[in-house]
Amino acid sequence: MKIVPEKLSKINFTALKRELWFWVGFGLFLYALGRLLDHQIFTFIENYVRHPELDHYIIFLTEKLIWWVLILFGVVTGYRAWTNPDNKTKLLPALFAMVVTGILAFTLKSLFDIPRPFAAMDVIPLVQESTLSFPSAHAAISFALFIPFYRISKRIGIAWLLFALLIGVARVYENVHYPSDIAGGIFLGGIIGSYFSHPETKKVLNLLWQELEFRRQSFHFVAGFLVVFAHWAGFLRLRWIAVLLGVGLLISYISQHRKLPFIHWVLQLFDRPRDKNFPGRGAFYFLLGVFLTFFLFQGGNIRIAYASILILSVGDSLNRLFSSRIPGRFHFPWNPRKNCLGVAIGVAIGTFAAQFFVPIAPAFLGSSFAIMAETVPWRLGRLYIDDNISVPLIAGGVMWVLM
């Protein structure tokens, strides 16, 4: 089902633009203020605020409580979307904002390459951190929920604002962030939360969500970042991916004969009509491609694996989305469904995502070869090689040879 462009053109974004410009101005003000306090604040904390008993509460707040709250929020959102007849809930914009903000926060850390305060100053951190400093992911994710919650309920929004501010202050107290990092997180979370929860944005997302391919590629896009982050953080290893593959096959087999609670809803939301004989085909092959990529590029080559998975999830997803929306005269002679401009966009964005882990030249060539190869229907007799497998393996192979 394709969205009629006229429907999107009728949406008025004037109010949204004003709101986003407010966040730009407010963010610049906060960042300038943060820069003034970046070094003096740690002396103030050590002399007037630091207390051993307070340390324990602060660590519990940032290392456990915030993540328990976010996980609970994700579970509640999923349950409400599942139980509502139209599979919608007011919490969904907040969930989207939280996930997108988390992805962008960790991406921007690599882009700005600013060391943590304890690495640049004579201060001792209360918690161990191996990532870079700007912007604060804790602050960004917390503030991404502020505006969506405020639109739902002013009381909930104000209460969450106080909690988010406490998280930001706590990260400075722990000597792991500068005030300017917190300001950057507030700006990032605020602008994304405002965008996703705005009524005009909801209209656009409601229209786009009606398209099966948009739902599939949105899931594809987010899943790649989550897989890379989970593996980097130590939550996801080969043995667990193998277990998930086995469980996935079992669920797929049962789903051919029975409608499993929640699983059936997910399959209806993301499966193509051709997948009725293999429910969950796309998710299974995506996970299999991830497994093979991690298996082949382990140890010193793990950054190649991360780059390859991002080329699959980002470059290939955008290639598919744009190829379906650009006029057909730009298609490839050997594959009318693939579009030259869509491939170019996929290569460019795939290169941008991969270059955070590998040099720009291997990132570009790996993305180019993989996404161009995806335009060719790969078949061995009756066996079809899924692009979720071919794209990351070709990208990883090219980058491995070059590096």
| Sequence-ordered strand ranges (E) for 275-397 | 331-332, 335-339, 379-380, 383-384
Q: Which of 87, 193, 178 is nearest to 141 (CA)?
A: 193
Query: Does 187 lie in the same domain as 283?
Result: no
Mean pLDDT of 194-223: 80
Total domains, the chain: 2
Residues 9-32 have a mean pLDDT of 84
Q: What is the pLDDT of residues 248-272, one digit of tens each?
A: 899 988 888 888 887 887 888 788 8
- Co-location of 368 and 323 in the same domain: yes
Task: Specify which residues 384 forms β-bridges with.
Answer: 379
Look up tokens 């656009």; give the residue.
204
Residue 152: give its domain's CATH number: 1.20.144
Share of the chain above pLDDT 90, in %: 39
Whether residues 193 and 266 fall in one domain? no
Average pLDDT, the chain: 85
Three-state SS for 338?
Answer: strand
The strand pair at 335-339 and 379-380 is best described as unpaired
388 in the same domain as 342:
yes
Please state the rounded mean pLDDT for residues 380-390. 75
Q: Give per-residue pLDDT as tens, 281-296.
A: 888 999 999 999 999 9
Residue 368 lies in a domain: yes
**Distance in angstroms (rounded) separating the CA atoms of residues 195 and 179:** 24
In a domain, 283, yes or no: yes
> How many residues appear in the chain?
403
Q: What are the pLDDT digits (tens) for 71-98?
A: 999 889 888 877 877 667 788 888 889 9
Per-residue confidence (pLDDT) for residue 330, from 0 to 100: 67
Please give the DSSP secondary-structure letter assigned to residue 280.
T
Kindly give, in sequence order, each residue whose CB lies less than 8 Å from that of residue 64, ignoring residues fewer than 6 positions away. none
- Structural domain containing residue 313: 235-402
With H, G, I as helix, E, B as strand and everything else as coil, classify residue 332. strand
Q: Are residues 384 and 242 in the same domain?
A: yes
Question: Is 143 inside a domain boundary?
Answer: yes
Query: What pLDDT does residue 108 have?
Result: 85
pTM of the complete model: 0.72
Q: Are 327 and 194 within one domain?
A: no
214 phi, psi to nearest 5 deg: -65, -45
Residue 215 in domain:
no
Do 317 and 265 fall into the same domain? yes
C-alpha span between 180 and 81 (Å, rounded): 37
167 in Cβ contact with 146 (< 8 Å):
no
